[in-house]
Every structure is written in C-alpha cells, then in structure tokens.
Amino acid sequence: MIRTRFAPSPTGYLHVGGARTALFNWLFARKYGGEFVLRIEDTDQVRSTAESAAGILADLQWLGLDWDRGPVPGDAKNDYFQSMRLDIYNEYLNQLLQSGAAYEAYETPAQLAAMRARAEKEKRPFRYRKNMPGRASPGAGPSVLRFEMPYETVEFNDLILGPISVGGDEHDDIVIRKSDGFPTYHFAVVVDDHLMGISHVLRAQEHLMNTPKHLGLYRALGWTPPQHAHMPLVFNMDNTKMSKRDKSKAARHAVQMRLKQDASLTIDSLAAKMGIASASLQAFVQQKMDDPAITGALAGALNLQLPEIDVQDFRRSGYLADALLNFIALIGWSPGENREMLTRDELRSLFSLEGIGKTNGRFDRKKLLWMNGEYIRQADDQKLLKAIESFNLVTEYPLKQASAKVLIDLIGMYRERMGTLAEMAENSRFFFGPPVYEPKAIKKYLATEADIAHLRQIAAILREIPTPWDAASLAGPMESIIALGDKRGAAAQILRVAVSGGAVSPPLLETLVLLGKDVTMQRLKELEGMVQAKPPV
RNA sequence: GCCCUCAUCGUCUAGAGGCCUAGGACACGGGCUUUUCACGCCUGUAACUGGGGUUCGAAUCCCCAUGAGGGCACCA
C-alpha cells in the first residue's frame, strides 16, 4: 500500500514550500488510493510551539489537504506528535547502543565549534567519526548519542533524480539523541517512517544528503527503507530562497527608505507609534533579529505590502485555495499536453512522479495573480461567496460588514476585474462609507466650469428618476449623462468620481443601484460643495 | 573549501534521436472592443549555456568546461 506523509516542524507558519511538499505527498497518496499521514516533528523543544502546530493544521485544512492519520485539530497532542513518542525512540536508541552501532560522545557545543573551526583553518572537511583522534572523554557534562556510520559508499535510486551515490568518507557519525534526551530529526524520522509504514518519502531536495544517513540507520535497525524521491526547490524571482525572512527583509528595507525620505520620522517616533521599545526596533533595523511581530507591526504602521510567503499570507491577500494549489503544483511538475488550469480532481488523476522535473523553479507571483483571477472568473456566486466569507474571517476590511445579498451584488460587479479578493475588498470601500476623493481625479475631471456645470446637470438628471431606483429606470438617464460630454464617457467620469472618489470603479449603472438614490444624490452634492468651495485654478 | 544535484524563451514548462523552421502559459509590445478600470478577442518579440564526441541524423545519448542550487548543526 502507498502511504506518504507530510512532517512539518512546528516552528512557524506553514510556508508555500511546505505546502507544495504536502500537496505532492497528498496527491501521490490520493492518486494511488493510499494514505496520507500528517506528523508533527516537534523534537526541537526550544523552537516548537503548540500555536505553530495548530496554525499548520488550520492552513492545511484551508488548502483542503486532508490527512488519514495524524493530529486531530483542536485536540491535545496525540501519537502523531514526536514529543509524545519518546519511549519508542528510547527503545530503538537502546537497541543501537547495545548492538554497538551507537556510542556516546561528550563534546560540548563549544568544543565542536572549535574542532570545526580548526578543520576549516586547515582546509580539510570536518567529519565526526568514532575513531578520530582527540575525542572528548566522559566528564561531568551531559552526553549525546551518535550513530557510527559505516565507511561504505551508499547508493540508492531516487525516484526523481535517479541513481545517487555518496562515498564512504563523506559520512559522519550524526547525533541521534541530543543531550536533552530527545531524538534528533534524523533518528525520529527513520523510526516513525518505519513504524508508520511510510512507503514513499517525497521531500524537498535539501534533504538529499540526509538520505545516506537515514539509509545507514535503516540498515542498522534491520529495516527495509521506504522509496525516496527528492523534489526540486522553489525560489523567489531573484533566485533567493523563499523564506519567512523575506518579509522582515522587505519591512527593514521599507523603514530605511522612509527614514531617508521623511526627515521628521525617527526610530524613536516610529517605535512609539508602533507601541514597542525603540531599542527593539533599532535591533530589528540593524538586522540583529527578525521578530515576525515587529515585521507585522511595521507593515501596519507604514502601510506596507509585504511579500506573501506563508500560506496564511496568501489567504489574507485574497488568493483562493484551489488557485494557490494549482499554481504551486505547476512548479516542478507538469502533466504535459500543455495543460495548466487543473481542478483538484484533475491534479489528482494526472499526478505522477515521472511528471516531476529536476530543475528548481521560481515563484512567479504575476502568474499566480493571473491564475487566481482565472479561478475567480470561473467560480460561481456561491463558491465566491464562501471564499469571501473565509477571507473575511482573517481580514479586517469594510467588506466584512456586508450581507450575503450585498456580497452577491459586489461579486457580480467585481468578478471580472479583480485578481484577488483583497483587491475587491480594497476597491469596494466606497460602498461602505464616504468615498475618499483623490486629488488627481478631481483635478482631471473637475477642472473647468464646464465640468462643474456637468456635475450639476448629472445631479439634475438623476434627481428626476422616480422610484424604483433600479437598472431599468437608470438605463435611460445614464445614456443622457454619457451624451453630456463631448467625448463619449467624459461626463460619466464626473459621476464616477462623485460616487467612488476616484476614476476607477465598477460600471456605474450597477454601482448606483447598489448605492441607492439617497447616497448617490448626497455624494453628488458633497462633491459640488467641495469643488465650489475650492475652485480649481 | 569538500560532497551531491541540476541546466529549453525574462518566468513556469512541453519535448523521452528524425513529428522542432522548438509548442503552450504568464509577463511584455501592438491592435480591436469599451461610460472608467478590467475582462474578452486578434497579433508580435523572445530560448535549446559553451566545447568536444556518438550517430545517416541530437534540445534529446556520452565526456569536459562553465553556470546555478542544495548539503556539510545537540535545526528540521
């Protein structure tokens, strides 16, 4: 039976790279009627948090990647958290100790660092081996357990990359039990993959060099290893690795720009505005730390658009789960036949390891944006309504106040003209409150006395419309308004500015209907007052 | 530095020796449509990293060079 797993460590949010790994494992299991296991690798006691684990679960659920075995959302830790399996690891750790395959080592981290530094200075690779000279002898300090890796070439057939071979003197004796008694990743992963019956390990290529070590462990334990497949990595467009630090990097860059541009802005005043100690902000700006909380606060204070990295970033930016999944699947995998818009079912039936390429890909946000727009345009009202409700759960736009009925109206107006739900949320603000008049638009469309005369004529035309104020009753008057200008459309822009505040909005007819007569007339009047009080030069 | 891996348009990719004057999509340019912005439609620019082989024939196979990426933790 095919059984795959996704095994994140709960040290942060689920980022798109992890989501892709999860997706491929999920697709592979689902395609062949196998099982998909989710396991939380929380063997790093310092960095792992329960909130992070819960967040990863929530993100996977939002993506619709369901697991057959694993943690139960909302429940306490179960067997699929490695921190709950210490007894199991200890049993096998003892087995290796007794068989002589593992041994204790006593170096402190500082000693190891010194040994590495010396090796580097002498221009030779550092490998910790049992028979190397200068090993520390048992002392008062805690010890770790290391696995004695045989001095043999390890060969295996990677299902994506083909035959891989690593020479015997490249190995070193990895730590398998840390001094805090927890197993290391290398050990826990082998034990769990075996015990959980994982048949295929599909993971990112950054793990390729771990595989020989894991294979050594399988052999020492007397187990048959699973098949391995290492997928190409995903990078930013500038070829840097996509990482959560991209967000702090962008925030830091923005702060430095603003400080340069705006002399009145200082670290102190900014920190005060953000409600944090200026020493913290200082440290952040000087790259001494990358606190995500500061990054977030900075984005709020400076109104920044940070690059989306984590799954929840994309959710908050108004990407649809299906679109994100479809897009991510296409980085490093292709179904052939020039196909790329693929439903979840198509993805599943078309997926194969053979379709996975060997070259690293770049994350092209422009294409994702296009694809998300395609998904939005193809979705029916109900589907979009659901997506918006999900979006509203994690964002704070005025759109949040809208009833389902109003949302349906807005969907009709924005479906064709939005790339993300956030664009709709942003652009539809004027439906929920007074418009913010853009000086540029006023200057362009209400520059002359003739423009202001048109504004009054528009108001006069609209005022005469009897109830009901609807598409039918507005159609004729709208034509008259358009006919007002010498250029077709010029007068319509005046009305558009009046109701929306800017030069861009959905078609006026629908816009006016949704706004209602009272609001429309009021905004017309308000704009007239504005331009009269401050006559354009 | 050492080890491993990879190499087709700016980007994602199709291509498994002749179907390739290298196909599709995004992005970009031009045009049409249009009450704004979009959407839509038509259309254009654009790639086999280089050098050696193998073969009647190479984007496809082999070697070397170059370039890119990954790994070298008591992180996963």
Please tell me whether the peptide bond between A226 and the residue prior to it is cis, using omega within 30 degrees of 0: no
CA distance linking residue A155 with residue A255, whole number of Å: 50
Find which nucleotide's C1' atom is closest to A212's CA: B4
How far: A355 CA to B43 C1' (Å)? Answer: 32
Is the C-beta of residue A235 closer than 7 Å to nucleic acid chain B? yes
Residues 372-411 of chain A sitting with CB below 7 angstroms of strand B? 373-374, 377
List bases, strand B, within 7 Å of protein CB. Answer: 1-8, 10-16, 23-27, 35-40, 68-76
List Cα–Cα distances, A388 to A61, A64, A158, A421, A433, in angstroms: 16, 16, 42, 7, 19
Other beta carbons within 10 Å of A285:
18
Tell me which residue of A413, A517, A511, A515 sits closest to A461, measured CA to CA.
A517
Would you say the C-alpha torsion A147, A150, A153, A159 has a positive or negative sign?
A: negative
Query: How confident is the model over A368-396, as pLDDT tens digits?
Result: 999 999 999 999 999 999 999 999 999 99
Q: CB burial class (10 A; 0-12, 13-18, 19+) of residue A11? A: middle
How far: A17 CA to B25 C1' (Å)? Answer: 22
Lowest mean pLDDT among A165-179, A229-243, A314-328, A522-536: A522-536
List Cα–Cα distances, A42 to A39, A49, A143, A184, A189, in angstroms: 9, 8, 21, 10, 11
> Taking chain A, what is the end-to-end CA distance rounded to the nearest angstrom?
78
Is the C-beta of residue A438 closer than 7 Å to nucleic acid chain B? no
Whether A244 is catalytic: yes
Q: Is the pTM of this model over 0.90?
A: yes
State phi, psi for A151 to the nearest 5 degrees.
-80, 65
Is the C-beta of residue A180 closer than 7 Å to nucleic acid chain B? yes
Rg of chain A (C-alpha set)? 30
List Cα–Cα distances, A78 to A40, A71, A177, in angstroms: 10, 6, 22
Residues 504-533 of chain A sitting with CB below 7 angstroms of strand B? 504-509
ipTM: 0.96
Contact A198, A5 (CB under 8 A): yes
Is the C-beta of residue A107 closer than 7 Å to nucleic acid chain B? yes
CA distance linking residue A321 with residue A440, whole number of Å: 37
Is the C-beta of residue A98 closer than 7 Å to nucleic acid chain B? no
Q: What angle do CA A431, A433, A437 make, to 5 degrees?
A: 90
Residues 6+ apart with CB under 8 A from A121: none
Is the C-beta of residue A156 closer than 7 Å to nucleic acid chain B? no
Instruction: Please state at what angle helix A50-63 crosses helix A321-329, rounded to 10 degrees.
Output: 90
Would you state the structure tokens that stand for residue A289, as one six-digit string? Answer: 């730390």
Mean pLDDT of A166-177: 95
Query: How confident is the model over A104-116, as pLDDT tens digits?
Result: 999 999 999 999 9
- Per residue in A370-396, is it b (16+ CB within 10 Å) or e — as a string? ebbbbbbeebeeeebbebbeebbeebe
Given A31, A244, A400, A525, the catalytic residue: A244
Contact A438, A501 (CB under 8 A): yes
Contact A216, A226 (CB under 8 A): no
Is the C-beta of residue A139 closer than 7 Å to nucleic acid chain B? no
State phi, psi for A81 to the nearest 5 degrees.
-105, 125
Query: How confident is the model over A341-374, as pLDDT tens digits?
Result: 999 999 999 999 999 999 999 999 999 999 999 9
Residues 460-479 of chain A sitting with CB below 7 angstroms of strand B? 478
pLDDT: which is higher, A475 or A49:
A49
pLDDT: which is higher, A470 or A537:
A470
How far: A355 CA to B18 C1' (Å)? Answer: 24
Of all residues in chain A, the percent with pLDDT exceeding 70 is 99
Find which nucleotide's C1' atom is closest to A187's CA: B76
List Cα–Cα distances, A274 to A126, A278, A280, A302, A430, in angstroms: 46, 9, 11, 10, 28
> Which residue is listed with tokens 């709950």?
A84
Residue whose Cα is closest to the C1' of B4: A209
pLDDT band at A485 (very low <50, low <70, confident <90, very high): confident
Instruction: Evaluate if residue A249 carries a pLDDT over 90.
Output: no
Residues 244-303 of chain A sitting with CB below 7 angstroms of strand B? none
Residue A533: predicted pLDDT: 67
Instruction: Give the 3-state secondary structure of residue A47.
Output: coil
Instruction: Evaluate if residue A532 carries a pLDDT over 80.
Output: no
Residue A240, phi-psi category: left (phi > 0), alpha (psi -120 to 50), beta (remainder): beta
Instruction: Evaluate if residue A287 carries a pLDDT over 90.
Output: no
Query: How confident is the model over A412-462, as pLDDT tens digits?
Result: 999 999 999 999 999 999 999 999 999 999 988 888 888 888 989 999 998
Write a three-state SS string for A284-321: HHCCCCCCHHHHHHHHHHHCCCCCCCEHHHHHHCCCCH
How far: A125 CA to B3 C1' (Å)? Answer: 10
Residue A535: predicted pLDDT: 54
How far: A303 CA to B38 C1' (Å)? Answer: 25
CA distance linking residue A194 with residue A218, whole number of Å: 8
Is the C-beta of residue A126 closer than 7 Å to nucleic acid chain B? yes
Find which nucleotide's C1' atom is closest to A489's CA: B35
Residues 6+ apart with CB under 8 A from A43: A9, A82, A83, A178, A182, A183, A184, A185, A188
